[in-house]
Structure 1
Amino acid sequence: MDRNIKSKLYSDLCRYGGDYKKIPKFQKWFRKYQNSKNHLLKFIYKVLFVLDRNKNFIEMSAESKIGEGLYIGHPFAITINPQAIIGRNCNIHKGVTIGQENRGRKKGAPIIGDEVWIGINSTIVGKIFIGNDVLISANSFVNFDVPDHSIVIGNPGKIIPRENATDSYINNKYKDI
């Protein structure tokens, strides 16, 4: 096993408090698939990923770009567009949609920074940038850029600047060794 896969699995393990059993199975297969060099193992990991992903009604590609330290609280009914990019130490909760806009000036998928907490049933769509240290509250709709150190509340979303916006929301942060 190369350092990259060990690092990504370890980073996710840290976010779940060191309890390997708490990491959703599809997330384990996702990390193993993305980092396997062996074609047969890669195929097996992808099949296992798809089977476990579908059990939880997760719409997510095995090719998704997600940084170290991912935490998925209550993994159920989550949609992540394959073109979206998600940074390190992010929390994603039940019912979240990270989607693509198909027309207009925001055509494309979001780029989400590091240490972003995305609350239950929130929707993030379009070619937008979500900065670092951002808290998106439950049931929020975000189709606009969000600067670093902010809280987004509501539908339509309202930005509230706040240093350490995710303090005490993002626990067990993964840090490079």
Structure 2
Amino acid sequence: MDKKLESDISRYGGNKNSLPKFQKYFRKYQAANNRVKKIVYKILFVINRKKNFIEIAADAKIGYGLYIGHPFAITINPDVIIGNNCNIHKGVTIGQENRGKKKGVPIIGDDVWIGINSTIVGKIKVGNDVLIAPNSYVNFDVPDHSIVIGNPGKIIPNVHATKDYINNKFINNQN
């Protein structure tokens, strides 16, 4: 089994039936090394992501241990980079800013929890161990070990920002 698919399943408590179907086919598509399998997995991915109103590109750069809680109405720009052990909840938008100094897309670190209906936009960096509270708007850099709350977002330093929020962390020993 592909290591990223295995890591995602571990985030769901090891229960492969809990993994959303579009996520399973997303990982299988990315791991496939033969053209026919790639085509089949991409078709299955597209069909299943549409059922949940999920906008994630098949080639999205998402690290190990992705957890999507309540997968519905999620939009992730194809150029976004997301690290390991990230939790994304329904209604989240991770998108592009089209003008100004922050023109571009976010880079999201490891161990990041993104709450319901949060929006993250622009050429920004979200550090490691960051909790973005539900309904927050983030268009600024967020340092490691922080909580972001509100609209406009406010940063609150916290040494263990995601403690008890990022469960079943996948540890990749093959760096």
Task: Check whether TM > 0.5.
Answer: yes
Q: SS of the counterpart of 1:37?
A: coil
Pairing 1:73–2:86 present: no
Offset at residue 9 of structure 1 (A): 1.1
Offset at residue 10 of structure 1 (A): 1.0
Runs of 4+ in 1 over 3 A off after TM superposition: none
Q: Which amino acid aligns with 1:96?
A: V
Q: RMSD of the TM alignment (CA)?
A: 0.7
Pairing 1:54–2:33 present: no
Aligned partner of 2:111 in structure 1 is 115
Partner Cα distance (2:112, 2:44) in 1: 28
Q: SS of the counterpart of 1:22?
A: coil
Offset at residue 176 of structure 1 (A): 2.2
Q: SS of the counterpart of 1:52?
A: helix
Offset at residue 33 of structure 1 (A): 0.5
Partner Cα distance (1:54, 1:91) in 2: 20
* Unaligned residue ranges in structure 1 (runs of 5+): none
Partner Cα distance (2:94, 2:170) in 1: 23
Offset at residue 109 of structure 1 (A): 0.5
Aligned partner of 2:60 in structure 1 is 64
> Taking structure 2 as the reference length, what is the TM-score of the superposition?
0.98
Partner Cα distance (1:103, 1:148) in 2: 26
Q: Report how many aligned residue pairs link the two structures.
A: 173
Aligned partner of 1:153 in structure 2 is 149
Q: Which amino acid aligns with 2:46?
A: V
Partner Cα distance (1:90, 1:16) in 2: 12
Aligned partner of 1:7 in structure 2 is 3
Q: Which amino acid aligns with 1:122?
A: S
Identity over aligned residues, as a percent? 72
Which string of whole-angstrom CA distances, capped at 9 and with x for unpartnered residues, describes residues 5-44 of structure 1? 6211110011000000000000000001011111000000
Q: SS of the counterpart of 1:159?
A: strand
* Unaligned residue ranges in structure 2 (runs of 5+): none
Q: Which amino acid aligns with 2:62?
A: I
Residue 41 (structure 1) aligned to one of 37, 42, 46: 37
> Taking structure 1 as the reference length, what is the TM-score of the superposition?
0.96
Q: SS of the counterpart of 1:21?
A: coil
Which string of whole-angstrom CA distances, capped at 9 and with x for unpartnered residues, describes residues 79-111 of structure 1? 000000000000000000000001111011100
Q: Which amino acid aligns with 2:85?
A: N
Aligned partner of 2:121 in structure 1 is 125
